[in-house]
Amino acid sequence: MNETAQPIQSVVVIENLSFSYNGRPALTDVTAHINHCDFVSIVGPNGGGKTTLLKLMLGLISPARGSIKVFGKSPVKARPEVGYVPQHFHFDTQFPITVKDVVLMGRLCNVSCIGKFKASDKAIAARVLEEVELSHIANRPFSDLSGGQRQRVLIARALATEPKMLLLDEPTAHVDIAAQKDLYDFLEQLNKKLTVVMVTHDIGFVAPFITSVLCVNNTVAMHPTRQITGQIISELYGHEVQFVSHDDSACPHPSNCEHCQSLQREIDIASKRDTETGGDHA
Amino acid sequence: MLEFFEALGSFRFLQYALITGLLASIACGVVGSYVVTRRISYVAGAIAHFILGGMGAAKYLNIVHGWTWLEPLHGAIISAFAAALIIGLVSIKGKQREDTIIGALWAIGMAAGILFISQTPGYNEDLMSYLFGNILMVTTQDIWLIAALDVAVITIAILFYNQLLAVCFDEEFARLRGINVELYYLLLLILTAMTVVLLVTVVGIILVIALMTLPAAIAGHFTKSLGKMMILASGLSLLFTTSGLALSYGPNLPAGATIIIVAGVTYVVTMIFKGVKTRNRIVNK
């Protein structure tokens, strides 16, 4: 999407970053960058450091070594420009709160806006609810919703902060397949205006709109995605598929990157089913 | 029950008891809803029990050292604030296990209170009234202090409603929106401490947790927003204190204990009713 020679604006710049939890290294010597309007998927095994990377981008933790800049600032200073969407199933299901109130939380500030929300804030909340097509359930309790709906409410809350970048933590976990498809379509639309970065547990074939994949397993490898041209594979999976190419990007951990391996396995299986070899993977 | 309403016209102490119940109920519903949704009822319990130390010390200084201006209620306020600050700072600094500190404060406060009271000449009836409430012995001075605490609690709780709601619902997101989560948590604990003091005058130290959490817990079953939960919880709290007071008057039962039993029975009945309803809904599906 952004691989042409347009002037590229870096949104996240990570340089030689290391982080460890009480001496146990979580991320080592990471260098990566995310450009404006990229759609980045962060993948990797559990405990590989995906969440750590996300927390670093949000400034919830600071690196032991190296640097991370978001919109050219420290992550803490950049928070107003970043919309964060946490995992939806971590919430107290008994908490009495309506959909509208959850979304309005995106308009909060520390002390300068005490008391009631302003009409302009309410208008923004109503607009983003419209955007995620949940206006009709604005007054329903958050706890009554399905996983997919809750996820969209949390996206609306993040959008209510009017961000330039959206960070999502496993948005498709505990969401049924149909809702996942809707969610990706919606994120693809959003990606026209803002940068989208999402952690995904295991997405198998990477969706076609993703511009790059960050493989995180203590170290980070950044891969641009390339399109497969196999007609059969498209039919097999019902939509266009892309895969990570390791041939031209120096993956520092080709042997231990589980995600890369599982992708390779899936591609191999797909290739065997089709007598023509699917694509240009080396 | 009828005797109560007949007596209400002629006895000032009953009128005071009713007013105290009303004032305490408003704060109880508002702060109790925060406490229940944020799941910190054990913090409220620790603050309540820690108060005995403050009340005992105040009574001791009052009688033995002649600090006649220092009332047990003053001691309760000071110690409640102290307990809230200690628990809050421990939670924020995170160096110690919070539940250990809660348990320690709970017991240390009780122990200190009993030591002070044992060294204070006079009737041991004081101890009983601290533990189980003395709503029938509220003075004009107490009413003013309770009213002031009430106004403070409600003003803060309404003014910072959105921030406190965010801190209770999703602390991480609140932090990312630039909200000083630690400060608001501390504010919530201070509100809890003030409300505990209010409720101690109604039902006493030991029964506080029930009055703080039961109305909010019942209200939570029937409301879909925190604001509505607060209003309903306040109403229920008022209903429990008033009916408990009225029921206890005729047969000369302890008012605090009667209030808690009324609240407890209502809670159990609601749970059963709710359970049956949910089961029916599942069967109908």
- Are A258 and A277 in contact by the 8 Å Cβ rule? The answer is no
Query: Is A221 domain-assigned?
Result: yes
Question: What pLDDT was estimated at residue A281?
Answer: 41
Measured CA to CA, the distance from residue A59 to residue B172 in angstroms comes to: 11
Phi, psi of A115, deg, nearest 5: 85, -150
Query: Is A259 domain-assigned?
Result: yes
DSSP A131: H
Q: Indicate the residue of B39, B163, B168 with minimum beta-carbon distance to A108.
A: B163
Cα-only R_g, chain A: 20
Query: Is A198 domain-assigned?
Result: yes
Gap from B167 CA to chain A (nearest CA, Å): 10
Query: Is B101 domain-assigned?
Result: yes
Query: Is A142 domain-assigned?
Result: no
Asked which of A42-51, A136-145, B22-31, B51-60 is least confident by mean pLDDT, the reply is: A42-51
Query: Is A281 domain-assigned?
Result: no
Tokens of A103: 């979304």
Tokens of B109: 């406060």
- pLDDT average, residue stretch A185-206: 80
Question: What pLDDT was estimated at residue B278?
Answer: 74
Q: Which domain holds residue A194?
A: 10-91+164-179+189-273
A7-11, A129-133, A272-276, B199-203: range with highest mean pLDDT: A129-133
DSSP string, chain B: -HHHHHHHHH-HHHHHHHHHHHHHHHHHHHHHHHHHHTT-HHHHHHHHHHHHHHHHHHHHHHHHS--TT--HHHHHHHHHHHHHHHHHHHHHH-SS-HHHHHHHHHHHHHHHHHHHHHTS-S-THHHHHHHH--GGG--HHHHHHHHHHHHHHHHHHHHTHHHHHHHHH-HHHHHHTT--HHHHHHHHHHHHHHHHHHHHHHH-TTTHHHHHHHHHHHHHHH-SSHHHHHHHHHHHHHHHHHHHHHHHHTTT--HHHHHHHHHHHHHHHHHHHHHHHHHHHHHH-
* Selected residue of A77, A88, A103, A108 to mutate for chain B interface (largest B Cβ count, 10 A): A108
ipTM of the complex, rounded to two decimals: 0.85
Measured CA to CA, the distance from residue A83 to residue A196 in angstroms comes to: 10
Q: Which domain holds residue B14?
A: 2-277
CATH code where residue B59 lies: 1.10.3470.10
Query: Is A73 domain-assigned?
Result: yes
Asked which of A42-51, A234-243, B164-173 is least confident by mean pLDDT, the reply is: A234-243
CA distance readout (Å), B81 to B74, B196, B208:
11, 10, 16
| Contacting residues of B for A86, CB less than 8 Å apart | 170, 172-173
- pLDDT average, residue stretch A37-48: 83
Query: Is A53 domain-assigned?
Result: yes
* Mean confidence (pLDDT) of chain A: 77
Burial class (CB in 10 A: 0-12, 13-18, 19+), A72: exposed
Phi, psi of B139, deg, nearest 5: -100, 170
Intervals of chain B under pLDDT 70: 1, 95, 123-125, 281-285
Helix intervals (H) in A191-274: 231-237, 258-273
Digit-coded pLDDT (tens) for A241-274:
444 544 434 344 444 455 555 555 555 555 555 4
Query: Is B284 domain-assigned?
Result: no
* Selected residue of B30, B154, B224 to mutate for chain A interface (largest A Cβ count, 10 A): B224
Look at A217 and A33; give whichever has higher pLDDT: A33
Digit-coded pLDDT (tens) for B187-196:
999 999 999 9
Question: What pLDDT was estimated at residue A224?
Answer: 67
Question: What pLDDT was estimated at residue A37?
Answer: 87
B94: Cβ contacts below 8 Å, ≥ 6 apart: none
Question: What pLDDT was estimated at residue A262?
Answer: 59
Digit-coded pLDDT (tens) for A108-122:
987 777 778 888 899
Query: Is A114 domain-assigned?
Result: no
Report the domain count for chain A.
Answer: 1
Q: Indicate the residue of A84, A101, A110 with minimum beta-carbon distance to B173.
A: A84
Look at A34 and A89; give whichever has higher pLDDT: A34
Report the domain count for chain B.
Answer: 1
Query: Is B282 domain-assigned?
Result: no
Q: Is A108–B223 a contact, with Cβ atoms under 8 angstroms apart?
A: no
Chains A and B: how many Cβ contacts under 8 Å?
84
Pairing, β A24-35 against β A10-21: antiparallel
Question: What pLDDT was estimated at residue A273?
Answer: 52
Q: Is B176–A79 a contact, with Cβ atoms under 8 angstroms apart?
A: yes
- pLDDT average, residue stretch A225-233: 42
Asked which of A6-10, A50-54, A231-235, B262-266 is least confident by mean pLDDT, the reply is: A231-235
Helix (H) or strand (E) holding A219: strand A219-227
Closest residue in chain B to residue A75, using alpha carbons only: B176
CATH code where residue A36 lies: 3.40.50.300
Question: What pLDDT was estimated at residue A266?
Answer: 55
- Report helix, strand or coil for A211: coil
Pairing, β A165-169 against β A24-35: unpaired
Query: Is B285 domain-assigned?
Result: no
Q: Tell me, what amino acid is at A114? A: I
